[in-house]
Amino acid sequence: MIRLDNVTKVYDAPASLHMIVAADRLTLEIPAGEMFGLVGPNGAGKTTTLKMVTGLLVPTKGSITVNGIDVEREPEHAQRYLGYLADFFSLYDDLKVWEYLDYFARAYKMDRGTIPRRIDDLLARLGLEPKRNAFIAGLSRGMKQRLGIARTLLHDPPVLVLDEPAAGLDPKARVELKQLLLELHSAGKTIFIASHMLSDIEELCSSIAIMEKGRLLHVGPLKDVMRQLTEARRISIRLAGPGFALADWLAARTGVRDVHADAAAAEFAFTGSDAELAELVRALVAADAPVCGIEEVVETLEKLFSRLSMGEVM
Amino acid sequence: MSFLIGNPELVRNARAELRPGRLLAATAICAALSLAIGYSMAHIHSPAENFLKLVLFAQVFALTIGGGTACIHAIQREKDQNTFYYQRVTRLTPLELTLGKLFGSPALAWFVVLCLVPAGVYAAVVSRIRPSFFVAAYALLVLGSICFHAFALLLSLLVKRGGATAAVLLLLLLLGATSGDSAQQGAFYLRPVSPFYAAKLVQGSWDISE
Q: How far is CA A312 from the centre of its chain?
A: 21
By C-alpha distance, the chain A residue nearest B77 is: A92
Q: How far is CA B171 from the centre of its chain?
A: 13
Q: What's the CA angle centered on A183, arms A180 and A184, to 5 degrees?
A: 90
By C-alpha distance, the chain A residue nearest B84 is: A90
Structure confidence at residue A225 (pLDDT) = 81
Q: How far is CA A266 from the centre of its chain?
A: 32
Structure confidence at residue A4 (pLDDT) = 92
User: Which residue ranges make up each domain of chain B?
Assistant: 8-201
Compute the count of residue pairs across chains A and B with CB atoms less than 8 Å apart.
57
Helix (H) or strand (E) holding B125: helix B107-127
Q: Which strands, in side-by-side order, build the sheet including A291-297? A: A256-261, A265-270, A233-239, A291-297
Q: Please report residues of A whose CB lies closer than 8 A to that of B90.
A: 79, 104, 107-108
Q: Give the Cα separation of B14 and A35 in Å (integer).
A: 39
Q: Is the CB of A95 less than 8 angstroms away from the CB of B90?
A: no
Q: Which of B85, B91, B97 to mutate to test the interface with A (most CBs of A within 10 A)?
A: B91
Pairing of strands A190-194, A35-39: parallel
Closest CA to A79 of B79, B165, B88, B69: B88
Closest CA to A247 of A255, A270, A257: A257
Q: Is the pLDDT of residue B182 over 50?
A: no
Q: Give the Cα separation of B132 and A21 in Å (integer).
A: 64
The ipTM, to two decimals, is 0.82
pLDDT tens track for B115-128: 999 998 888 888 88
Q: Is the pLDDT of residue A49 over 50?
A: yes
Structure confidence at residue B8 (pLDDT) = 93
CB distance B29 to B62 below 8 Å: no
Mean pLDDT of B40-45: 74
Which residues does B contribute to its contact with A (CB < 8 Å)? 6, 8-9, 11-12, 15-16, 81-83, 85-93
Structure confidence at residue B210 (pLDDT) = 42
CB distance B55 to B117 below 8 Å: no
What is the DSSP secondary structure assignment for residue B88, as one 8-state letter? H
Q: How far is A94 from chain B (nearest CA, A)?
A: 6
By C-alpha distance, the chain B residue nearest A88 is: B82
Q: Say which of A79, A92, A107 has its CB closest to residue B16.
A: A92
Q: Give the Cα separation of A219 and A215 in Å (integer).
A: 11
What is the DSSP secondary structure assignment for residue B160, as one 8-state letter? P
Q: pLDDT grade, residue A16 (50/70/90)?
A: low
DSSP labels, B13-71: HHHHH--HHHHHHHHHHHHHHHHHHHHHTTTSSSHHHHHHHHHHHHHHHIIIIIIHHHH
Cβ contacts of B152 within 8 Å, gap of 6 or more? B67, B68, B69, B71, B72, B167, B171
pTM, 2 dp: 0.79
Q: Give the Cα separation of A88 and B81 in Å (integer).
A: 9
Q: What's the CA angle centered on B155, arms B153 and B160, to 5 degrees?
A: 120
Q: How far is B152 from chain A (nearest CA, A)?
A: 21
Q: Is the CB of A54 less than 8 angstroms away from the CB of B86?
A: no
Mean pLDDT of A276-297: 90
By C-alpha distance, the chain B residue nearest A100 is: B12
Alpha helices in chain A (DSSP H): 46-54, 75-79, 97-107, 115-125, 141-153, 171-186, 198-204, 222-229, 246-251, 274-286, 301-309
pLDDT tens track for A133-177: 999 999 988 888 889 999 999 988 999 999 988 877 788 888 888
